[in-house]
Amino acid sequence: MILRPALLLVAANLAIGAVGNTRIQVGASTPAPPARHEDVSSIDAIVRAAYDVISGPQGQKRDWDRFRTLFTSDARFTAAMPGKDGNIKLISLDVPGFIKVAEPAFMGGFFEKETWRHVDAFAGIAQAWSAYESRFKADDERPFQRGINSFQLWNDGGRWWIVSIYWQAEDKSNPVPPVSP
């Protein structure tokens, strides 16, 4: 059956009205494990937790269980990266896919630090622009990469969730601005 976009919107609104404040997910796997209250109590807390959990010295295994608690079960990680032809390509992963790709890379030492943030919010949704610097060691003088993370966030009435993180690293043509836009 093919649903037209307007019909899909009506169906979604009816379903939301019927079930109240419940997450509706098509094809969702397992629910997220319980989260630390201090990680999900505010936009600031959940963004800080996301940076904290992926950062660590060489050889330190990341707390992927904690990581999973920050995200909806259908969350996406999307990187905008230059392809071989120079055009920007999108690479998108779910939470297990991101962990599979990131885990071996982070084991060499990886620290990502937020340098500024700009948040726009309405009701239970928020968009956080978050500039970052990445280093192999926490005390490296210069980052090996900088860029912007775009966090899409949702508050279900009890806590914040990360719905997606979409990012692009800076390049010569697109430097990270010195302060939030």
Q: Per-residue confidence of the chain (181 residues) as pLDDT tens digits?
A: 444 433 333 333 333 344 444 443 444 445 556 999 999 999 999 999 999 999 999 999 999 999 999 999 999 999 999 988 989 999 999 999 999 999 999 999 999 999 999 999 999 999 999 999 999 999 999 999 999 999 999 999 999 999 999 999 999 989 999 876 6
CA torsion, ordered 129, 130, 134, 140, to nearest 10 deg:
150
Q: Whose structure tokens read 């948040």?
A: 119
Domains of the chain: 35-169 (3.10.450.50)
pTM higher than the cut 0.85? no
CA dist list (Å): 136 to 53, 84, 105: 15, 25, 10
HSE of 89 in the Cβ direction (CA atoms, 13 Å)? 6
Rounded CA-CA distance 144/135 in Å is: 6
